[in-house]
Amino acid sequence: MWNVAFAELRKLRRPTLLVGTLGAAVFFSALFSSLLFLLIDSPDGNSDRGRMVGRDVLGLSTGGVQGFSSVGGFLGIIALCVFAAQTAQEYTYGTLRNLLVRQPGRLRILLGKFIAMKIFALVMILLSAIVSIAASVILAPGAEVSTDLWFGPDGRHAIFTTFINVTISVIGFGTIGMVLGLLLRSPISSISFGVLWLLIVENLLIAVKNSWQNWLPGTQLYAIAAGGTAVGPVSGGIEYSHALLVGGIYVAVGAVIASVLFVRRDVAN
């Protein structure tokens, strides 16, 4: 299992994948955090969907991680794409047969690949947190936002809690991407279906019937990253415990189904 994980990590550190993925994470982290402070007086809002996050909110102990929390959903989409592509391409390139020759245990291969991609996601999340918080600290004085509470006991607790929430959300998105890769066995199909569902279909369904926000998988994972307030065209919010339960059920059921199919299906695409 660990040999599979180390082998997968060698693939994940390819410059084209590593630099591109981490570069996107850094860009969105810096962008979201910067807009909170640069547009703090804008009448059109300074957060997602035109929401206004004022100086009173940014001056709280949670103010330093407002940007990091907001970017959690985009980090999840990046993770979904990476997990889906790295899983499905084994079928596309026909390399799964070679892997099974060296390691006939299919679940060991699956678990090893998941561990490697989870480590990759954790590195991305950590880098995003550093960039986001650093950008907030640099821009706060110019926006006349106090940072006195950001790194006190409550501030450190907020940083830790937000990091855990974003990690759970991103790993959840990544697991869904891996499930899609196993089900569809095509990188393009897996990524396209996942991104279209998360960015378009769920928003349309919620716009038609607002109560569906409580049951759609992507919305639950967005809410976990935000600590219980769903990101999207919704009114009110989603309780953190509810999002954790429903999102966990989606991820767990999908993982079980995909694992069974991976063990029983032919390895050919």
pLDDT in tens, 191-250: 999 999 998 999 899 888 888 888 999 999 999 998 876 444 434 578 899 999 999 999
Is 254 contained in some domain?
yes
pLDDT higher at 42 or 28:
28
- Model pLDDT, residue 167: 96
pTM score, whole prediction: 0.90
Is 56 contained in some domain?
yes
Tokens of 28: 């969105």
Looking at the 3D structure of the chain, how many domains does it have? 1
Domain extent, residue 110, equals: 2-264
Helix, strand, coil distribution of the chain in percent, nearest 5: 80, 0, 20
What is the radius of gyration, based on Cα positions, of the chain? 19
Buried b (16+ CB within 10 A) or exposed e, 130-152: ebbbebbeebbeebebeeebbee
Whether residue 79 contacts residue 170, with contact meaning beta carbons closer than 8 Å, is answered with: yes
pLDDT in tens, 149-165: 999 999 999 999 999 99
pLDDT in tens, 86-139: 998 888 777 777 777 777 788 888 899 999 999 999 999 999 999 999 999 999
Is 269 contained in some domain?
no
The mean pLDDT of 46-53, rounded to a whole number, is 73
Is 86 contained in some domain?
yes
Whether residue 64 contacts residue 151, with contact meaning beta carbons closer than 8 Å, is answered with: yes
Residue bearing tokens 């976990």: 224
- 44 has a pLDDT exceeding 80: no
Going by C-alpha positions, the residue among 140, 119, 131 that lies closest to residue 24 is 131
Is 156 contained in some domain?
yes
Is 80 contained in some domain?
yes
